[in-house]
């Protein structure tokens, strides 16, 4: 086990599932992406970490993000990204812009609550996943489950947030 993973798990920042696969399930659809070294790939995602950058495509939108201290900045088709990542006693609090839309989300071991761009979440930890509701683009809330793989938790908090924003924003 890597030291960064031990740090994240010791701080209790997130509930993670063993393995290398991100899974988000909503009625009629399961969104998956596999983590392999620096690459994150799936039917709707093809992006990779390059040092302090994350580049590729998510939900058919080109993205170029950079990590700088406690910030994630850059752009995705549809608008700018400027997220501030703040560790708290209960996990991470992320505020700013994602795809030009105001974002305010709390990521913690017990819940994921708030929004990344146009998608809002009200999820609570249940075993190795989060379950609850998701609403995107002003649509009605849909039952949702999210599994965050332990290998993604090995990344720095800002890289983790950059990847989750891209994975959960479609």
Q: Residue 21 half-sphere exposure, CB side, CA atoms within 13 Å? A: 8
- Residue-level pLDDT at 12: 58
pLDDT, residue 8, reads 41
**Low-confidence residues in the chain, pLDDT < 70:** 1-12
Scored b (16 or more CB within 10 A) or e, 24-49 reads: bbeeeeebbbebeeeebebebbebeb
For residue 13, the model assigns a pLDDT of: 76
Taking the whole predicted model, whether its pTM rises above 0.85 is answered as: yes
Give the span between the Cα atoms of 154 and 135, in whole angstroms: 28
In whole angstroms, what is the distance from residue 46 CA to residue 48 CA? 7
Q: Quote the pLDDT of residue 58.
A: 92
CB neighbourhood size of 19 (10 A) = 14
Rounded distance between C-alpha atoms, residue 142 and residue 126, angstroms: 17
| pLDDT for 78 | 75
> What pLDDT score does 89 carry?
86
The domain in which residue 72 lies consists of 3-168
Total domain count for the chain? 1
Residue 18, number of CB atoms within 10 A of its CB:
10
d(CA 55, CA 62): 8
> Residue 72 has what pLDDT?
96
DSSP state of 59: T
Question: What pLDDT is attached to residue 3?
Answer: 34
CB 104 within 8 Å of CB 114: yes
- pLDDT of 169 reads 87
Question: Do 16 and 111 meet the contact criterion of CB atoms below 8 Å apart?
Answer: no
């Amino acid at each position: 086990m890597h030291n960064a993973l031990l740090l994240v798990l010791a701080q209790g920042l997130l509930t993670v599932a063993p393995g290398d696969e991100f899974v988000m399930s909503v009625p009629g659809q399961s969104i998956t992406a596999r983590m392999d070294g620096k690459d994150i790939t799936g039917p709707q995602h093809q992006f990779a970490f390059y040092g302090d950058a994350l580049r590729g495509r998510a939900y058919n939108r080109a993205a170029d993000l950079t990590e700088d201290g406690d910030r994630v900045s850059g752009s995705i088709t549809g608008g700018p990204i400027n997220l501030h990542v703040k560790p708290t006693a209960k996990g991470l609090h992320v505020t700013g812009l994602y795809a030009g839309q105001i974002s305010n989300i709390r990521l913690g071991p017990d819940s994921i609550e708030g929004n990344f761009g146009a998608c809002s979440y009200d999820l609570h930890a249940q075993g190795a996943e989060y379950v609850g509701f998701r609403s995107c683009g002003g649509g009605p809330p849909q039952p949702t489950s999210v599994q965050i793989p332990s290998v993604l938790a090995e990344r720095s908090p800002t890289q983790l947030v950059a990847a989750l924003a891209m994975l959960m924003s479609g």
